[in-house]
Amino acid sequence: MTLDALKRRLAQEYPLAEATYEVAGFSLVLTSVADSYALLDRLSPEEFLKDEQMPYWAEIWPSSFVLSEHLVGEVGVEGKRCVELGAGVGAVSVALRKAGASVLATDYSTEALEFIRANALQNGIALDDEFQTMRLDWRDARLSEKFDVVCAADVLYERRHLLPILLAIDKLLKPDGAAFVADPRRQIAKGFLALAEENQFVVETHSRPIVFGKKAMEVDIYALKKRAADE
């Protein structure tokens, strides 16, 4: 499907917003849902009781920009195979591909995947083997492939998600790979750090400031590597 056709279809389903952001040295045009709260009306009681899935994917989160800057500017992703968990509208995944990574962008929501594809196309990224999308439930991350980099932004918002996210990282990460999780200093994130250390990960924390929507905040990036057998 062409970009124009995809955006026409999205516009029929959602009120859209479009803005340009400076992300990791790139000017990225990102389309998102203008009023994510309106999506709550689409959730049937049956759907909510099944998964308790809120439409968090529809927001553009400040942590995604901080994570992109860190991965592109400090870690370096060119030539690496990366997977993003809970990619939302795809800001991080698009930035990683622009920086030369091969990317698999995943989200539980099939709606999110449509926005990821649109944002890739409108930033000059082909939907090919170097940029793929996939529906993935981090509670059951069954992929045969292992990745150099596993990343996620703003996913540590419910306690019941902490262990599934960590187990998904463990399943998807190469033995010598690294995972990066960005979070705006939610209290619940401390539970994730404790779980990671209990499950044989070495964790480093990097803090970065950001001003987003005239609001200043600090975002922590947790860098996880699997503990060596002799450590």
pLDDT tens-digit profile of 209-218?
999 888 899 9
Does pLDDT of 49 surpass 50? no
- Max Cα separation, the chain? 57
Q: Is residue 231 one of the residues assigned to a domain?
A: no
Cβ-contact 122, 3 below 8 angstroms? yes
Distance CA 92, CA 103 (A): 10
70: left (phi over 0), alpha (psi -120 to 50) or beta: alpha
What are 124-173's pLDDT values in tens digits? Answer: 999 999 999 999 999 998 899 999 999 999 999 889 889 999 999 999 99
pLDDT band (50, 70, 90) for residue 185:
very high
What is the 3-state composition of the chain as percent helix, strand, coil, each rounded to the nearest 5? Answer: 40, 30, 30
Structure tokens at 161: 């998600």
Provide the CA 102 distance to its chain's centre, in angstroms: 15
The pLDDT assigned to 14 comes to 86
Q: Is residue 125 one of the residues assigned to a domain?
A: yes
**Domains: count for the chain:** 1
CATH number for the domain including 15? 3.40.50.150
Q: What is the mean pLDDT of residues 202-214?
A: 92
Which of these, 29, 7, 28, lies nearest to 18 by C-alpha position? 29
Does pLDDT of 43 surpass 70? no
Cβ-contact 23, 153 below 8 angstroms? no
Provide the CA 43 distance to its chain's centre, in angstroms: 22
Domain hosting residue 215, numbered range: 3-226
